[in-house]
Every structure is written in structure tokens, then in C-alpha cells.
Chains A and B, each alone.
Chain A
Amino acid sequence: MKSAVLVFPGINRERDMARALKLASGKEAAMVWHAETALPKGIDLVVVPGGFSYGDYLRCGAIAARAPVMDAVRDFAAKGGLVLGVCNGFQILCEAGLLPGVLMRNARLKFICHDVHLRVERSDTPFTRGYNAGQVIRVPVAHGEGNYEADEETLKRLEGEGRVLYRYCSAEGVVDEASNINGAANSIAGIVSERGNVLGMMPHPENHVEDIMGCTDGRGLFAGLVQHLEQAA
């Protein structure tokens, strides 16, 4: 799996992401500056990492979404290329129109930085095949604006088409109000695009991939992507 990690001013998780990608694929990820107008050749996966691009000015992800490199990402996605956006990356993908909806201020207004449990809703996608459907994984979140909202029709479509891949839940896998840390509609933590090749999620799977991190539940996502690409090849 050859990956490209986008780098915007104010992003701070690009190294964690590159490390997780290397661990899963054995290959060094290409770091791609936001002012580039093309992606490196032969890329299988584009990752938009987390952080605070442009200091979250205007709206989270709004300015990064209009950076030159995003046109190349849009073309890549339109051809079916895999795109993963984590945290600020999810916000950027929504602002860029690659995913529907918007990430609003957390319902209780606080920045949340701790581990959460996620229920993997299905296992038959490139982004979840490293897990079992219904499996509960533990990964960290760190965000102030992760409250996913979309209009009713969009939510209905997302649910009807099985495009919610990750949902906030309790340690036992129960989706309830208490485990919905940021007030997201339907406890949504991660969704895919209509074609299923673009995933945006608020939690950070890249931060739970090595024993020293205290948990390796995030590995499945990256391992699944590697497996998917090997099979496609």
C-alpha cells in the first residue's frame, strides 16, 4: 500500500499517521504539501490527517478544503481512489464536499481528549475489513468540533445505504446517549462517501497501533486497507 499524507499548516498528526501507515504496509508514506497540484504517482491511499489546519480559522477545515492539493484529491476520489480523513481531516473532507454534512461544536462545548469505544457497523468495506461487524474497539479522540450533523434526508440516506461505519458506544457496544461524547447525530463517528471509497472519522485509530500506546485496536483499520489493496491487485 502506497500512501500519501497531506500536510497543511497547523496539522499536527501527520507523523503519527505516517508511522501507523509504515507499520501496517512496510512502506514509507509520501508527505504531500498543501500547495502541490498533483499527488505522487502510483498512490493507493490519500490520508488527510488531524490537527488544526490554519488554526481552525473561519470554520474547522474550511481553508484547507480550498487548498490547491484538494483538487487533485477530488480527482483521485472521483476515480475511486481510497481517501481517509481523521479528525481535522474529516472536517476538511466535509468542507471540500467529498463527504456530506458538517462537524459542529461539541454539544457540551468542551474539547474532549480521551479514549472512546466505537462499534464497527460492518466489516465488508476497505476501511473496516480488519474488524468483525459489531466489534467494539477503543481509540482516542481529541476534538472540540466533532458533533456530526446533516439534514434529515442525508442522515436517512447514510443509514439506509449502510454508510455509517463507526459509531460511539459503551465498552459493551451499546449505542446510547451517555456514550455519544459530542452529541453527534445518530452517534456517528465515521461515515463513507456514496461510492464507499472516502472515509471520514473523528477518532484517531493511528494513535492505537503499538503496544507502547497501551492499546492496538486501531491496527485493524490499516491492516484492512492493506489487505483490501493486496486482494485488488
Chain B
Amino acid sequence: MKARVTVTLKTGILDPQGKAIEGALKSLGVEGVASVRQGKVFDIEMAGADKAKAEAALKDAADKLLANTVIENYRVELL
């Protein structure tokens, strides 16, 4: 079973990397970019077929390691 965990910065948290990327996009002439916030994507292959179990395990993984919930939100998707 394929799964994806997306980790993004919470709103209000300053994101200097996103700001730098935003500046670079603007200097490349990419039009219409209002703002950029960067994050992380984890593509995870889960063994077994129990969706509920997999989702619970991935939430556990995100809480324990993949995200720092002080500053980050995460989203778990089973693909």
C-alpha cells in the first residue's frame, strides 16, 4: 500500500527558505507567484492491506518523528 505524508509549516511560522524560493521564482520571471511556503513530502510503502491500521501507524510516525508539531502540520494520505 502506498502512502504519502505531507509536512508543512504552520501558518504564522516564519519561513525564510520559502521566502528565498519566492524571490528566486520572481527573478526567473515566473509570473503570478504571490508567495511560497516550503515543506516536505514522504512517500512511504506500507506492508499489509489494513487501511485503518496503516493510517494510525503513519499518524504515529508523523507525531513521533516526521513532523515537529511545535511548528509543523502534517497530512496523511493513502494512495
Which A residues form the contact surface with B (CB < 8 A)?
A: 58-59, 62-63, 66, 95, 100-102, 104-109, 149-151, 183
Q: Determine if A109 and B64 form an interchain contact, defined as CB atoms under 8 angstroms apart.
A: no
Known: A104-B16, A108-B16. 11 other contacts (CB 8 A): A58-B66, A59-B68, A62-B68, A63-B65, A102-B70, A104-B13, A104-B14, A104-B71, A105-B16, A149-B13, A149-B14
A107 in contact with B64 given A102-B71, A149-B71, A150-B70 (CB within 8 Å): no
Which B residues form the contact surface with A (CB < 8 A)?
A: 13-14, 16-17, 20, 64-66, 68, 70-71
For the complex, what is the distance from the CA of A140 to the CA of B69, rounded to whole Å? 30
Q: With contacts defined as CB atoms under 8 Å apart, how many contacts are there between chain A and chain B in the complex?
A: 34
Nearest A residue (CB) for B17: A105
Chain B residues with Cβ below 8 Å from A95 are 68
For the complex, what is the distance from the CA of A102 to the CA of B64, rounded to whole Å? 15
Chain A residues with Cβ below 8 Å from B64 are 66
Q: Determine if B68 and A107 form an interchain contact, defined as CB atoms under 8 angstroms apart.
A: no
Q: Determine if B70 and A107 form an interchain contact, defined as CB atoms under 8 angstroms apart.
A: no
- Listed by A's residue number, 19 A-B pairs whose Cβ atoms lie within 8 Å are A58-B65, A58-B66, A59-B68, A62-B68, A63-B65, A66-B65, A100-B70, A102-B71, A104-B13, A104-B16, A105-B16, A105-B17, A106-B16, A107-B16, A109-B16, A109-B17, A149-B14, A149-B71, A183-B14
Give chain A nearest CB distance to B52 CB in angstroms: 25
